[in-house]
Amino acid sequence: MDDKFSPIPARVLPEAFSDLEPFSQWALATESERIAARDSSTLEELQVFYEVMMARIPAIIGYVDKFPFDRLPDDARNLFNLALSAVEASIAVELYHQPQVINGFDRARFRPVE
Amino acid sequence: MTIEADNKRWSAKYPELGTGPVSAEPCISPEYFELEREHIFRRSWLNVGNVCEVPELGDYIVRDIEVVSASILIMRGRDGVVRGFHNVCSHRGNTMAWDASGNCRGYLTCNFHSWGYDSLGQLRVVPDEDNFHNFDKSQHGLTPVATEVWNGFIFVNLDSKPHQTLGDYLEGVTGNLTGGDFDKLTLVRSYKIDEKANWKIGLDAQNEVYHLPFQHKYIMPDVFAANSAGYTRVKDVTLFKRHSVYSCDMNHEHKPSPMETLIGQIDPGRTRCRLPTKSEFDFYVLFPNFVIIIFRGISNDSCVTYNFWPLAVDHTIWEIRFYSPPATDAAERLINEFGQTRTRLVFEEDAVAHETVHTGLKSRAKRHLIFQDEEIQLRHFHKVVEEHVAQAKGD
């Protein structure tokens, strides 16, 4: 596993989404982590993740919304966090065509309050 | 969507504002900043948060307002009333609450000598009380700060005797923003941006949509309604005595990205929150440093607020808050994530420009700002600032 992401145990996703296991390092719970992951990935990595996720987001919503949203099982929560990360990845793939914001602000001085 | 509108219509609506250049000196002058500190920030109603941050009896938040050297404790008393106090112990002036938020269960206790105050700010516990001289603890509660709530937004006024109630101060705006489901809003996301720029430069940059197709060409080249030449045109500008609002519609023919298309196909669920709007994007500047943006949503309306907190003439904390009903399912949460993260990018790009503008003005290469007609609300804002400072000089 790439050491720039926090280690996540294997099989973090629901069985029906085992095809997304190779991307489980994107199951990031906070916006700060998702931003950091985008910033530190290559455009190629972001592109692969984004394209796989674009095809799976409708099914992910369908699955996750079978549970009460404030009491998601861990694997459904991880799955949903992948979808949130795909939105973050789309910034690089769709808008800037590079991982980082073009002419972006100093990350240390732009802080999500979490 | 194309809006055809006459050029220079706002200067015709508000001829008293003139059309000439506006001095840039107030954005860079340390002396001017000291006047703003004394005669604007110490005397105006300042937004410090929202009642959703203190939902339970005894809940409190602490807001440090550095421009007026004050730490303010906002607390919901056991009687349900939200009050503001100086966060200062009556004994020897120690800072009372050290956490950004908490709950006063029983007493809020000073770290220094354990003086304890209740949720109404009354002094209730003084260790070794009998050893004080001529001491009546009922006379030594926390120092109150004028505090009022409007549409859930909490405002304080550091003037010991404010000249106006909040309702009078907000004249004009209260008529527009009346009714609606403000009580459904919760704080769902926030950012703090530490900028090396004057607070007015940041506010000015946000207070117009002229720049959007240019500065935000990667994110929103065509998101807002524009004329046939591609220049943004607002639907309305209304200027009040101190405050202002501009209103815009979106360009519904803009070219969506694949993710935007996918997000747009998600069922947003039932409508729970509608807010009073004049358009799809209403941008209110509540003088001096507070902005409320009302977004018309497909399902729910929401708002974003800005507080520009000056620390020095060239240093500002730009605080951004997203308020909406809490997402009840994954579909709604993902829709919000898309809109809010795209908006975050706009802030990032803007924050860079706030600093580069400050750098440019500080060189004094240019002594004036030049405003076009779609920037008339900036002209108004600078005039209101100038009036406050000039009035103060005449005191």
State the complex-level ipTM: 0.91
Looking from the CA of A74 toward its CB, the CA atoms found within 13 Å total 6
Q: In which residue ranges of chain B is CATH 3.90.380.10 found?
A: 9-43+180-394
Mean pLDDT calculated for residue range B159-173: 94
CA atoms of B288 and B243, how far apart (whole Å)? 8
Residue B190 CB neighbour total at 10 angstroms: 16
**Among B328, B338, B348, beta carbon nearest to A104:** B348
Residue B333 CB neighbour total at 10 angstroms: 20
Select the residue from A95, A96, A111 to test the B interface by mutation, using most B Cβ atoms within 10 A: A95
**Among B192, B330, B345, beta carbon nearest to A69:** B330
Report yes or no on A15 lying in a domain.
no
CA atoms of B74 and B314, how far apart (whole Å)? 28
Q: In which residue ranges of chain B is CATH 2.102.10.10 found?
A: 45-162
Q: In chain B, at which residue ranges do the beta strands (DSSP E only) sit?
A: 22-23, 45-50, 59-65, 70-76, 82-86, 101-103, 108-109, 116-117, 123-125, 144-150, 153-157, 186-195, 236-239, 244-248, 281-286, 290-295, 302-312, 315-324, 368-369
Place of tokens 């950012």: B191
**Among A64, A83, A101, beta carbon nearest to B345:** A101
CA atoms of B60 and B46, how far apart (whole Å)? 17
Strands laid side by side in the B281-286 sheet? A110-112, B186-195, B315-324, B302-312, B290-295, B281-286, B244-248, B236-239
Contact B226, B251 (CB under 8 A): yes
Contact B217, B361 (CB under 8 A): no
pLDDT tens digit sequence for B321-370 = 999 999 999 999 999 999 999 999 999 999 999 999 999 999 999 999 99
- Chain B residues in contact with A86 (beta carbon < 8 A): 259
Select the residue from B101, B255, B262, B356 to test the A interface by mutation, using most A Cβ atoms within 10 A: B262
Q: State whether A112 and B191 contact (CB < 8 Å).
A: yes
pLDDT tens digit sequence for B40-64 = 999 999 999 999 999 999 999 999 9
Contact A39, A58 (CB under 8 A): no
Residue B192 CB neighbour total at 10 angstroms: 16
Place of tokens 């009546």: B136
| CB contact B339 to A (< 8 Å) | no
Average pLDDT over chain B, rounded to an integer: 95
Contact B132, B126 (CB under 8 A): yes
- Chain B residues in contact with A31 (beta carbon < 8 A): 189, 341
> With 60 as the cut, is the pLDDT of residue B395 above it?
no
Burial (0-12, 13-18, 19+ Cβ within 10 Å), A46: buried
| CB contact B259 to A (< 8 Å) | yes
CA atoms of A22 and B272, how far apart (whole Å)? 38
pLDDT at B10 (0 to 100): 96
Place of tokens 């009040």: B240
CATH number of B9-43+180-394: 3.90.380.10
> With 60 as the cut, is the pLDDT of residue A8 above it?
no
| CB contact set of B32 (below 8 Å; sequence gap of 6+) | B25, B26, B313, B389
Pairwise pLDDT comparison (B77 vs A11), residue with the higher score? B77
> With 70 as the cut, is the pLDDT of residue A4 above it?
no
Contact B197, B316 (CB under 8 A): yes
Report yes or no on A83 lying in a domain.
yes
Q: State whether A104 and B352 contact (CB < 8 Å).
A: yes
Pairwise pLDDT comparison (B41 vs B105), residue with the higher score? B41
Going by pLDDT thresholds of 50, 70 and 90, the confidence category of residue A1 is: very low
Report yes or no on A53 lying in a domain.
yes
Residue B16 CB neighbour total at 10 angstroms: 8
- Residue A57's domain spans which residues? 24-101
> With 80 as the cut, is the pLDDT of residue B1 above it?
no
- Chain B residues in contact with A113 (beta carbon < 8 A): 190-192
Select the residue from B189, B220, B341, B354 to test the A interface by mutation, using most A Cβ atoms within 10 A: B341
Mean pLDDT calculated for residue range B194-204: 98
Q: Euclidean distance between the first and final Cα of chain A, in Å?
A: 26
Residue B355 C-alpha, separation from nearest chain A C-alpha, in angstroms: 10
Select the residue from B219, B348, B356, B358 to test the A interface by mutation, using most A Cβ atoms within 10 A: B348
Going by pLDDT thresholds of 50, 70 and 90, the confidence category of residue B291 is: very high
Q: State whether A105 and B348 contact (CB < 8 Å).
A: yes
Fold topology of B45-162: Rieske Iron-sulfur Protein (2.102.10)
Coil vs helix vs strand at B224 = strand
Going by pLDDT thresholds of 50, 70 and 90, the confidence category of residue B4 is: confident
- Chain A residues in contact with B328 (beta carbon < 8 A): 69
> With 90 as the cut, is the pLDDT of residue B270 above it?
no
Count of the separate structural domains present in chain A:
1
- Within A6-107, residue ranges assigned H as helices are 31-40, 43-64, 74-90
> With 70 as the cut, is the pLDDT of residue A2 above it?
no
pLDDT tens digit sequence for A39-69 = 999 999 999 999 999 999 999 999 999 999 9
Mean pLDDT calculated for residue range B156-181: 94
- A residues 23-82 closer than 8 Å to B (CB): 31, 54, 57-58, 60-61, 64-65, 69, 80
Pairwise pLDDT comparison (B144 vs B225), residue with the higher score? B144
| CB contact B100 to A (< 8 Å) | no
Q: Which two tokens stand for residue B103?
A: 């709950």
Contact B353, B202 (CB under 8 A): no
pLDDT at B220 (0 to 100): 86
Report yes or no on A106 lying in a domain.
no
pLDDT at B298 (0 to 100): 83
| CB contact set of B379 (below 8 Å; sequence gap of 6+) | B17, B18, B22, B371
- Within chain B, residue ranges assigned H as helices are 9-13, 30-36, 166-169, 173-176, 199-206, 212-215, 258-264, 330-362, 376-394
Report yes or no on A30 lying in a domain.
yes
- Chain A residues in contact with B348 (beta carbon < 8 A): 101, 104-105, 110
| CB contact B341 to A (< 8 Å) | yes
Residue B53, CA distances (Å) to B50, B78, B323 in order: 6, 16, 11
